[in-house]
Structure 1
Amino acid sequence: MTHGSVAAARLSLRGTDVPIGIYISSTDPTTTEIAAAAGLDFVMIDGEHGPLDRHLVLGHVRAAKAAGIVPIARMLEGSDTQIQALLDVGCAGVVVPKVETAADATRIVRASRYAPTGRRGMCPACHDGGYSVNGFRDRMTQRDRETLVIPIIETRKALDNIAEIAAVDGIDVIHFGPGDLSADMGLDLAIDLPVLRDAWVTVRDVCHAAGKALLVPDNMGFEGGDLYIWPMELMLLRSTLEAMMRDRAAGAQ
């Protein structure tokens, strides 16, 4: 990997050159165990559109760590308190929607870092803190160094400000979000992919020039990413079952 290689490697405990993950929206952490058993590198636990509160995210985090896969979480909104909550339950990183400016990016980095360099409150009495004050100071230093803060580029304003966002220290991975970006640009995701691919090339080239890694959906033809992610596991379950039913119906004819 040539761009953001250290950060990207944190999403691959298996040492994969191009890590691949999947969105997780089920309330049952079994799906995270299955993702690990299938050989994926990371899960993005979806607290934005999935019905997952902090307690349910913790279950997925525990399953991920037990199975040797990296847990990160997409949050509903990027408040300081929500960032702290997801990091305290043990997420290795946070994926923050609607980041549109360098000021937005700077704030979420500070929210993920302990004082005095950041604003994250310290508490050893949580999953991430190991429930002990012993060695917690070293743990704080390690987490400040390793936690991934991943903004989603999914609005026209963010696209206009991508160079400034990519330049923010502490942002090592950037997630290109074509779904909301298409809506914000007044496009139809199903038929306007060429326009979105042009936007993707802009984001990719600017971020790579800044030494940042790019996380991108795996199923839309966006080439040159450093990390890829598959659609939500429950959508894949439905599409698999539908394909099986079509095959069954065809065989019955």
Structure 2
Amino acid sequence: MPIRLAVQPSLKDLFTEAARAERGGRPAAGMFVSSGDPTVTEICASAGLDYLLIDAEHSPLGLETILAQLRAMAGYGSIPVVRLPGLDEVLVKQYLDLGAQSLVVPMVNSAADAEAAVRAVHYPPRGVRGVGSALARSARWNRVPDYLSRAAELVTLVVQVESAAAVGSAAQIAAVDGVDGVFVGPSDLAASMGLIGQQTHPDVVAAVKDVVAAVRQSGKFVGVNAFARSQAQDYLDAGADFVNVGADVALLARGTEALADAWCAPAGEEQGPGTAPRGSY
């Protein structure tokens, strides 16, 4: 008799009443993994974070690399989330077939964009996702019972609001049936507001909080990227359900800078363990 497998949780499972209660009511926290190295991903996955966001938008990750990272995470409690390079029906199909159950679609600027993302993640007649479950890890090669009829409930779709236009349409974007949550990107948002590199500018922070309020009003979950602890806490206090608090490559960059500053200073400069790193996040 063939083995009949269960599927792993997806991101929306972090925001059920039971999951929130299990965390003691605290918001969820996770980080980017951008290096593409499965060992690094496994180290991060076993650290105790609620989720890891595998980033294919700003990192050189292909399908095989993402598949290796999903497998590296499979034995741990952190939920794998994958951010696509962009809204593309073919890529959505391929990422879902890899077994990515939680997708983040960047640069969603309108309700129409959100509706297109919903169509991409659903099989017909609701959507346009191609059917290949017998060939795909998503259905464990047809070992997940009734995968085709259950796929919609197993997938979490998060759309990313990261432009001034999207902020103005946040309520309409969040209201689209099939959108499970919204992720706010302050870096691109700041750039679209003419404030590139100024993610903590008061106008950017206010815009992020406007999105948080609009999405919460819709009944969907909402998160934000904020590497600075004080900024992350400020967004959580404003009602964000989850926060992305770091990245593997940023941690490596800052950590190695700290080592170099501590031990490789030019002769005559007093340096030592504990010297502040050159960069910050």
**Structure 1 unaligned runs (5+)?**
1-5
Partner of 2:130: 121
Select the residue among 4, 11, 14 that pairs with 1:9: 14
Select the residue among 190, 194, 219 that pairs with 2:198: 190
For residue 235 of structure 1, give the secondary structure of its aligned residue in structure 2: helix
**Could you tell me how far apart the structure 2 residues matched to 1:159 and 1:247 are?**
43
Contact 1:8 1:173 in 2 (8 A): no
Contact 1:45 1:71 in 2 (8 A): yes
Contact 1:8 1:213 in 2 (8 A): no
**Could you tell me how far apart the structure 1 residues matched to 2:58 and 2:22 are?**
29
1:153 partnered with 2:172? no
C-alpha displacement of 1:22? 1.1
Runs of 4+ in 1 over 6 A off after TM superposition: 10-14
**Could you tell me how far apart the structure 1 residues matched to 2:78 and 2:90 are?**
25
1:26 partnered with 2:35? yes
Deviations 1:14-42 (A, max 9, x none): 95442211111112111221112211121
**Could you tell me how far apart the structure 1 residues matched to 2:227 and 2:47 are?**
18
Write the letter of the residue equivalent to 1:141.
S
C-alpha displacement of 1:105? 0.4
Select the residue among 185, 206, 209 that pairs with 1:201: 209
Write the letter of the residue equivalent to 1:245.
A
Deviations 1:130-170 (A, max 9, x none): 123x555x112332113111111111111111111011111
**Against the structure 1 CA distance between its residues 107 and 20, is the aligned structure 2 distance closer, same or farther, given a 3 Å change threshold?**
same
For residue 231 of structure 1, give the secondary structure of its aligned residue in structure 2: strand
**Could you tell me how far apart the structure 2 residues matched to 1:170 and 1:191 are?**
29
Contact 2:224 2:242 in 1 (8 A): yes
Write the letter of the residue equivalent to 1:49.
H
Bigger shift: residues 57-66 or 242-251: 242-251
Contact 1:24 1:232 in 2 (8 A): yes
Select the residue among 35, 41, 56 that pairs with 2:50: 41
Partner of 1:143: 151
Partner of 1:167: 175
Bigger shift: residues 215-224 or 67-76: 215-224
Select the residue among 96, 101, 116 that pairs with 2:105: 96
Contact 1:19 1:226 in 2 (8 A): yes
Taking structure 1 as the reference length, what is the TM-score of the superposition?
A: 0.89
1:130 partnered with 2:131? no
Structure scoring higher RCO (CA < 8 A, sep ≥ 6) equals 1
For residue 118 of structure 1, give the secondary structure of its aligned residue in structure 2: coil
- For these two proteins, the number of residue pairs brought into alignment is 246
What is the root-mean-square deviation of aligned Cα atoms in Å?
2.4
Contact 1:13 1:70 in 2 (8 A): no
Deviations 1:48-72 (A, max 9, x none): 1111011110011111112232111
1:172-251 maps to which residues of 2 (within 5 A)? 172-190=180-198, 193-220=201-228, 221=231, 222-223=235-236, 224-248=239-263, 250-251=271-272
1:64 partnered with 2:73? yes
Contact 2:187 2:199 in 1 (8 A): no
Bigger shift: residues 116-125 or 104-113: 116-125
**Could you tell me how far apart the structure 2 residues matched to 1:211 and 1:104 are?**
20
1:81 partnered with 2:90? yes
C-alpha displacement of 1:74? 0.8
Q: Percent identity?
A: 32
